Amino acid sequence: MNNENASCPEKHFFGPSSSRITVKGFTYPIEVGMRSVALTRSYECKGESFTSMPLYDTSGPFGDPDFSHDVRKGLEPVRDGWGFDCGAVESAGAALSMTGRKPRVAKAGEAVTQMHFARKGVITPEMEYVAIRENQALESWIEKRGGKPVTPEMVRDEVARGRAIIPANINHPEIEPMIIGRNFRVKINANIGNSALGSSIDEEVEKAVWACRWGADTVMDLSTGKNIHQTREWILRNSPVPIGTVPLYQALEKVGGKAEELSWEVYRDTLVEQAEQGVDYFTIHSGILAATLPYAEARQTGIVSRGGSIMARWCRAHKQENFLFTRFDDICDILRSYDVAVSLGDALRPGSIGDANDVAQFSELKTLGELTLRAWARDVQVMIEGPGHVPLHMIRENMEMQLKHCHEAPFYTLGPLVTDVAAGYDHINSAIGGTLIASLGCSMLCYVTPKEHLGLPDRDDVREGVIVHRVAAHAADIAKSSPTAWLRDELMSKARYAFAWEDQFSLALDPLKTRQIHAQNMAATGDTAATA
């Protein structure tokens, strides 16, 4: 399986019909990467002929078959060449180990966030990039279908309102910018490194690139263990997608795993350390308050969020309010200096359907809404994390409450899982709830793998988790009437009706598996299946 080596870009990962194309910016010298699939014939859709289709692509330069890469050097810092003046920035701290570059930081009192520029009316290269990217070079088709192509100005406006975020740390110049918001394509996140077993740079980078290859729009690095700093550096320097982390996990390691020994100082230093490296968003559990802990104790399954459990223990040990809450303005002052977005963690998310939409969950959601306003007051980009375990008929209320209490900040959910008894199939369970909540306005789905609740995902699980959530995200885009999503389905259906197998492989969300199953079937029967 040569073509399954994710960071071996000289291979045609998705087959020879797939190639990388770039679209140039109007205002900035950007080159927006996409994947184009050549079709074997011409398909007529609403009077337009298609012999190829450009697809949104998350694999970055790895998607270019001619790309030559050295994981020890990392990707090109493409954003540095876009000539945008970030304002009052200086270099500070120790040079980064892989590149030797000194981290950048805003001068005291200054902000360098996308929200800051958006509110000043400035369109950044990142805004132009995501506008072009979202349209998939299909502007005329979008208009023909009665849609409106995304414009840089529309992106600016959404970011200024806080209804979308562009996670793009000024110290992560390697990324292809992307946007998270409900008026854009639904995104998915893949978690990696929840195992302490990986050890080499090749292994760690391969994990991150593997997830992007299959369609992860962002990657959360949940690595633990001794080499946590170095591992993150490897991943950041080689990642074409934004990287998120939970800084609390590293802070906890610094105090020997004892939650009660956590302190603001240790946590603050961890934030700075990771911000300097270039992490694009932090999950921060500021919403769990001492006053709401009794609500959680009355539950079927208490607190299932790891970050939530840590802070609950800290609060109880110190008989004090959560310092991630009391110090939230200080946290935001750090984030605004690097443009790290905050993903407000749902420490009290339900861990069983019996706990869904309860007072613990919704009281935290209201707190997250207050924190959103505090972050926005400092021009910090915000998204809100969501459940968890929620029965299908209670999902809409979750979305409505989130929009209402969190002032339309983007929602980023894990699942929701719609039953508790699907162990071994929780990726599917998650895709069921995820499709519905995304169709109702959730902006990004955190993937769940078949190992959820049971063990650590391997390579196959990551692929399965990513693709299944791509199915969910795409189905939600279809439900939201996205013209680009509909075009892909229309071309696929026309190829299917014409028995044009190569085109079906090219347009499928998993071209490799589709081709493989078909080949096995042809070998066994020489024919295709029909259903009643």
Q: Where in 497-526 is the site for a copy of itself (CB under 8 A)?
A: 497, 504, 507-510, 513-514, 517-518, 520-522, 524-525
Element (H, E) at 43: strand 31-45
287 contacts a copy of itself (rule: CB under 8 A): no
Tokens of 314: 């800290």
421 contacts a copy of itself (rule: CB under 8 A): yes
Interacting residues with a copy of itself between 325 and 364 (CB under 8 A): 345, 351-354
Residue of 4, 140, 265, 425 interacting with a copy of itself (CB under 8 A): 425
34 contacts a copy of itself (rule: CB under 8 A): no
- Least separation in angstroms between CB 78 and a copy of itself: 28
Rounded-to-integer distance, Cα 509 and Cα 199, Å: 31
Residue with smaller CB distance to a copy of itself, 330 or 489:
489
Rounded-to-integer distance, Cα 157 and Cα 179, Å: 13
- The answer to whether 45 and 491 have CB atoms below 8 angstroms apart is yes
- 3-class DSSP assignment, residue 406: coil
Interacting residues with a copy of itself between 292 and 311 (CB under 8 A): 300-302, 305-307
Alpha carbon of 518 to those of 349, 460, 509, 522, 528: distances in Å? Answer: 41, 20, 15, 6, 8
Interacting residues with a copy of itself between 379 and 418 (CB under 8 A): 389, 391-393, 414, 418
Region binding a copy of itself by CB under 8 A among candidate stretches 235-243, 265-273, 376-384, 448-456: 448-456
How many chain residues are in contact with a copy of itself, going by CB under 8 A?
A: 88
Rounded-to-integer distance, Cα 125 and Cα 114, Å: 10
Residue of 10, 453, 459, 460 interacting with a copy of itself (CB under 8 A): 453
Rounded-to-integer distance, Cα 15 and Cα 13, Å: 6
- The answer to whether 345 and 367 have CB atoms below 8 angstroms apart is no
Main-chain dihedrals φ then ψ at residue 406, nearest 5 degrees: -105, 20
Residue of 169, 183, 429, 443 interacting with a copy of itself (CB under 8 A): 429
Interacting residues with a copy of itself between 165 and 194 (CB under 8 A): 191, 194
- 3-class DSSP assignment, residue 344: strand
- Least separation in angstroms between CB 371 and a copy of itself: 18
Residue of 197, 256, 319, 499 interacting with a copy of itself (CB under 8 A): 197
Residue with smaller CB distance to a copy of itself, 359 or 478:
478
Within 145-292, where are the H helices?
152-161, 201-214, 228-238, 247-254, 264-277
Residue with smaller CB distance to a copy of itself, 377 or 456:
456
| Side chain identity, residue 264 | W
Residue with smaller CB distance to a copy of itself, 266 or 479:
479
- Least separation in angstroms between CB 387 and a copy of itself: 12
Query: What is the DSSP secondary structure assignment for residue 417, as one 8-state letter?
Result: B
